[in-house]
Structure 1
Amino acid sequence: MDILINKPIKISIDTIEIDEHLPSLKLCISIDFERNGFELKTVSVAWFKCKVLDSFIKNLELSKLAVLKDMDGNFKLKIDTKKKKLYWSSLKEGINGNTFKSEGNEQIDLDDIDNILNAFKAYPKWW
């Protein structure tokens, strides 16, 4: 597990592949959510530019809106430090043209934001 966040929802991120020519990462992102008898698990595999990851971390450090979005726009993790909310969405198009989407948001506090920031800062960068 390269990045693990357990609160407010469980998010785990693993590196699958890297591309040094266009500094980017292929990540597997798993989100597990359970509240009041409702349970959801979504797994996304997508490419992210390294500079997007850097910008996400920097914006969290500066208490700005932080967005981690993949190259195709199918996955997004957004942290709004002013509204104290975490948003995520995941979209998958099947080979037969079907579209599947899951999304959610969660109220967060300053400790949650710090935990998320620390989890991303601990990621072993190669770029």
Structure 2
Amino acid sequence: MSINLSEPIKIVFNEIEIDDYLPSIKFKIDINIKQFTHLLTYSGEIWIDCKVWDRFSKGLNEGKDTTLNDMDDIFIIEIIKNNEFIEFTWSIKRKDPEGNVMTAGYSSKITDDVYSVIRNEFINYPKWW
């Protein structure tokens, strides 16, 4: 199972494992961001709690502010809706045991059409829980 988004940035969620004990899904994430003359590529693996997935999908479906984060709070997608615009934000922050830190992020205003695509990808993801 996978989710493929092409706007505002290219994000692919590929399901690689599930955990029935603590209902959660492990995804391989691939992100490609092209902005001006710059390119940012990220690839990693994250676990998302199914309750968090449900909360995010419900927020998208109801047109409310909503957040998707992994179980370690290093990977975050936020959708912020207000009367004037819709904002999509992605960030990652990872710290190793020696204190080295990697951070990356992206923020963009999106259209209603892009929002609809994001919403449909997440709410139509086949749930097993």
- Using the size of structure 1 for normalisation, the TM-score is 0.93
Report what 1:72 is aligned to: 72
Matched with 1:93 is 95
Q: Which moved more, 1:25-34 or 1:87-96?
A: 87-96
After superposition, where does 1:33-112 map in structure 2 within 5 Å? Answer: 33-82=33-82, 83-112=85-114
SS at match of 1:51: helix
SS of residue matched to 2:91: strand
In the superposition, the TM-score normalised over structure 2's length comes to: 0.91
Aligned equivalent of 1:27:
27
Aligned length in residues: 127
Distance 1:113 1:6 in 2: 12
**Which 4+ runs in 1 deviate beyond 4 A?**
none
Q: Give SS of 1:72's match.
A: coil
Unmatched segments (≥5 aa) in structure 2: none
Residue identity in the other structure for 2:127? K
* C-alpha contact 1:81 1:113 (8 A) present in aligned 2: no
RMSD of aligned Cα (Å): 1.3
SS for the counterpart of 1:126 is coil
The one-letter code sitting in structure 1 at the alignment partner of 2:107 is N
Q: SS at 1:71's partner residue?
A: coil
